[in-house]
Amino acid sequence: MTSTRELLDFDRAHIWHPYTSMVDPAPVHLVRRADGCQLELDGGQRVVDGMSSWWCAIHGYNVPELNRALVEQAERMAHVMFGGLTHEPAIELCRRLVALTPEPLQHVFLCDSGSVSVEVAIKMALQYQQAVGQTQRRRLITWRSGYHGDTFGAMSVCDPVGGMHALFRGVLPEHVFVPRPELRPGDPWDDSCCDELERAFAEHGETLAAAIVEPIVQGAGGMWFHHPNYLVRLRELCDRYGVLLIADEIATGFGRTGRMFAVEHAGVCPDILCLGKALTGGTMTMAATLATTRVAHGISSAPPGVFMHGPTFMGNPLAAAVSCASIDLLCSGPWQRRVAAIEAALRAGLEVLRDDENVVDVRCLGAIGVVELERPVNNPDIGSVFIRNGAWIRPFRHLVYVMPPFVISERELNTLTSAMIAGVRSLGST
């Protein structure tokens, strides 16, 4: 049996982890098992997972219903091409997605990952505008501080200055950016907050194919929460100027903000909707891009008469089967009550940090708790504090945040908030 030291030495020398140097890689922890809301590290220490494996493991780990769906489907077929063939797991998944999402979204394109679902959405918007004769509409509009993925189309609509992809400026297509929404849910609404958005539409409206935003919560771009009325106004402007609205709900979909989908906070329906992450309950990769009949038929009614995209693993039966099981498990349980309880516990547990000298802000919404700091944190140093306090929390830049599984217990939540407090206080004086 390979020793822990040998495994970690090979990892350090040869394996490129996300956003990590190969010259001086950040330390990693070896996970031996995962159950419920906890990860078992090599050596036997158990830590509460505050990240839901980057926000997707909403039911926790080693879930019998999801495991059973995978095993039963694997015994029938693990994969079959989706070109010219179909199968029951994909049909049943699409049936559930059409039923769950806002009624105008009737057409489902299954794809590989969240970034790919954004690529698909952008291509849908561009091909639709071409199909209806709006060939000048080749740009997108979005808010700053957004994040939509790491592939090229997705990177082009991430924040071009403050985001993670500024290195690629000059290579990526240049789109239209407006200031991020500043008013939060619950703040008194002020119509003037959308003045710059309206000016951007007035100036660029005739060349815009689509607007793409993360509704209510901007995730990896800064964990900002915004007032639902921004979405209402954006929907109105899109309709006025003939621009499609793309909602990127990869992070927010399936209950994370307290609604099944974040657009429900504003009562709006996008023309295109991106889903991923929690779709499979964190078991494997899959995503979906949904479109209205207007978009789907518009694309299909003009040459070449087909949508020009087709991933090799599109509609993968294993992923589709486990997605059905995950959706059924979510909808059959008291997820709204659980998410509301998580929000209340995070608010109560993190409030003590509001007056800390290192803290700029504490904000919570649904099953999301964020502590914004004065300065960026040193990941390995603060990470070791979290581990010592029984939690797996991975901060980025100046944010310490958690997005735990919905099934987390009160005791485990207390472990997370206590670890966050210990980590922030370990930073010392600024």
User: In this structure, what token pair is assigned to residue 97?
Assistant: 């997605």
Q: What is the pLDDT of residue 332?
A: 98
Dist. CA 162–CA 142, nearest whole Å = 14
CA distance 133 to 302: 9
Active site residue 230: no
The answer to whether the beta carbons of residues 207 and 136 sit under 8 Å apart is: yes
19 is catalytic: yes
Q: What is the pLDDT, as a whole number, of residue 338?
A: 98
Q: Is 312 strand, coil or helix?
A: coil
DSSP 3-state of 10: helix
277 catalytic per annotation: yes
Q: What distance in Å separates the CA atoms of residue 22 and residue 308, rounded to the nearest whole number?
A: 36
pLDDT in tens, 351-363: 999 999 999 999 9
**CATH architecture, domain 4-62+334-425:** Alpha-Beta Complex (3.90)
CA distance 263 to 101: 10
Identify the CA nearest to 142 among candidates 242, 229, 218, 252: 218
Q: What is the CA radius of gyration of the chain?
A: 22
Q: Exactly one of 61, 128, 277, 401 is catalytic; name it.
A: 277
Whether residue 341 contacts residue 392, with contact meaning beta carbons closer than 8 Å, is answered with no
CA distance 261 to 100: 9
User: Which CATH code fits 77-332?
Assistant: 3.40.640.10
pLDDT mean for each 10 residues of the chain (430 residues): 92 94 93 98 96 97 98 98 97 98 98 96 98 97 94 90 72 92 96 97 98 96 95 98 98 98 98 98 97 98 94 97 98 98 98 95 98 88 94 95 98 98 85
> Can you give the residue ranges of every domain in the chain?
4-62+334-425, 77-332
C-alpha separations of 282 from 36, 71, 75, 181, 296 in Å: 12, 16, 21, 30, 29
Pick the catalytic residue from 9, 19, 35, 381: 19
8 A C-beta contact, residue 315 and residue 86: yes
- Residues 200, 238: Cα–Cα separation, whole Å: 12
Among 61, 147, 230, 401, the one annotated catalytic: 147
Question: 129-163 pLDDT, tens per residue?
Answer: 999 999 999 999 999 999 999 999 999 999 887 66
- Is residue 164 within 8 Å of 172, Cβ to Cβ? no
Please list, in sequence order, all residues whose beta carbon lies within 8 angstroms of the beta carbon of residue 102, skipping any fewer than 6 positions away. 261, 263, 264, 269, 270, 273
Question: Residue 413's pLDDT is what?
Answer: 98
Q: Pick the closest to residue 407 from 330, 325, 323 (CA basis).
A: 330
Q: What tokens appear for 237 in the block?
A: 């402007």
Is residue 123 annotated as part of the catalytic site, yes or no? no
pLDDT of 168 reads 82
